[in-house]
Amino acid sequence: MLQTFFSRIVAFFTAILFSLGVRVGPVIPPQNVQPDSVQAAVAFSNDTAGSAAGTVTLTAQADGAYALYWGDADGNKLTSHAADRSVPYTEFATVTVKGGKGEADLYDFLAIPAGAQSILVYGGDVLAGTAALPENKLEADAVTYSFGALSDVHFNRYNKSGTGDDACITFPAALDFFEDYDVSMVAMAGDLSKNGEADSYEKFNRIASQYDFPVFTCKGNHDCRREYTLENWQKYINPGVYGDEKREGVLAVADNGLDFVFRGEETHGDVFIFFSQIAGQYILPTSRIVTDAQLEWLEEQLETYKNERVYLFFHTFLTAPKGNPLTGEGNLLTRSMSFYPLFYVPCTRDEQQFRKLMETYKNVTFFNGHSHWAHYLESINPQLNITDYDGTTATMVHISSVTAPRISSDTTLLWKSAAMERSEGYLVTVYPDHYVVTACDFLQNQMLAYATYIVTK
């Protein structure tokens, strides 16, 4: 184990040195682009309705970077409507044309949102071309239910708004958004606090209790810090889970008084597991963030529900199973050499056991948070937001922060907080044989089409 661990350390610093030369140039739109001056063609790689996986090719009169949007039945940029809310979709891809031609691969998980009828090609503000979507690619199934997925709300940590606590703005804004979309529940991947303080949990409870849907969560690393107590957690978090009188749908609660399984009317038969880390430091080969007893309990639940659709919420992400440990779901090298070092450290015993479970139970979708990376940074690393490593693991979905996404650019040495500029999470729409994970910005009121994914399970 030690030899493997230190080989990973060598790879870690080698990657840092290599990344010093990594640069991605600025996106430059075409100049003097004319309407109907671009021809677009898409070669889809499968016949699955709602899947955008494939290759898009542009033939254009003017060189430059063109933005691709989904178009509705009227030829306008796609907008989602719920209650009194209208939410526009962002671009889903950018294609750079050189010498009159350009090509881009569309990520295997990329989804065609419901209501999309065409692809619109924009050069700056000019609609330069369109391409109709084939009928077999349009979403036809009826929605079964939906839920929200959030992480890293961090009460008491950020105050860019000057109001005392940014989370008191972002968290209710996200829940308002989900309420308009009539979600059945909201599931979270932890980090509710700054240092595990009771005041954070009280704020969380006060806000979440104002909505008709339940809000469930696991613990994150910040929730393991000095001010945390199990008594405060059970008092304010996950109402109806830990007491003697449990709410309907709570199927199992671990002996640690934290981890639990939920399958109620809200989930239409799907299983949600909330799995908490019990320590916040994981630097050495001997580090542990979950116990053997927890892993035994988790394996028992996963085996019980191995033939069901299971959503697992656990705060810290795994690194790529092979190759550069600074890349992969939840972790990346950015434009200016930055990376997020606090991943689930490879080669610790609990990490190895947890990874084995993710490789065994591929019916699971594992939602995690922790890094705060903004979803747009997937343009640097295609596996940042979602991956199953070519079918070798459970599907892993990384959630940005609802309060302070982290961004990076050519002018950013490492990263910077985008608190009160962005607020991100997912709206998950569930169908009979698949589900669509749509990244949302709750402050900007946007559906992030470039981070909208379809999972067939």
Q: Could you tell me how far CA 115 lies from the centroid of its own chain?
A: 22
Residue 456, Cβ density class (10 Å: 0-12 exposed, 13-18 middle, ≥19 buried): middle
Number of Cβ within a 10 Å radius of residue 283: 10
Q: What is the structure's pLDDT at 13?
A: 42
Give this prediction's pTM: 0.94
With a cut of 90, say whether residue 282 has pLDDT above it: no
Q: How confident is the model at residue 148 (pLDDT cuts 50, 70, 90)?
A: very high
What sign for the dihedral angle of Cα 152, 157, 159, 164? Answer: positive
Q: How confident is the model at residue 413 (pLDDT cuts 50, 70, 90)?
A: low
Q: What is the structure's pLDDT at 337?
A: 60
Q: What is the structure's pLDDT at 140?
A: 80
With a cut of 60, say whether residue 243 has pLDDT above it: yes
State how far the Cα of 388 lies from the Cα of 419, in Å rounded to an integer. 30
Mean pLDDT of 252-261: 98
Q: What is the structure's pLDDT at 351?
A: 92
CA separation, residue 381 to residues 21, 195, 375 (Å): 16, 31, 10
The CATH architecture one would assign to domain 38-137 is Sandwich (2.60)
With a cut of 50, say whether residue 23 has pLDDT above it: no
Collapsing DSSP to helix, strand or coil, 170 comes out as helix
Q: What is the structure's pLDDT at 411?
A: 65
Q: Which CATH number fits domain 145-422: 3.30.450.20, 3.30.930.10, 3.40.50.1820, 3.60.21.10?
A: 3.60.21.10
Percentage of the chain exceeding pLDDT 70: 91
Q: How confident is the model at residue 333 (pLDDT cuts 50, 70, 90)?
A: confident
Q: What is the structure's pLDDT at 256?
A: 97
Q: Is 145-422 in the same CATH topology as 38-137?
A: no
| Phi, then psi, of 338 in degrees rounded to 5 | -85, 155
Lowest mean pLDDT among 118-127, 406-415, 448-457: 406-415
Q: Could you tell me how far CA 344 lies from the centroid of its own chain?
A: 17
Residues in the chain: 457
With a cut of 70, say whether residue 313 has pLDDT above it: yes
Domain locations in the chain? 38-137, 145-422
Rg of the chain over all Cα atoms, to the nearest angstrom? 22
With a cut of 80, say whether residue 26 has pLDDT above it: no
Q: How confident is the model at residue 20 (pLDDT cuts 50, 70, 90)?
A: very low
Q: Three-state secondary structure along 375-444?
A: HHHHHCCCCCCEECCCCCCCEEEECCCCCCCEECCCCCCCCEECCCCCCEEEEEEECCCCEEEEEEECCC
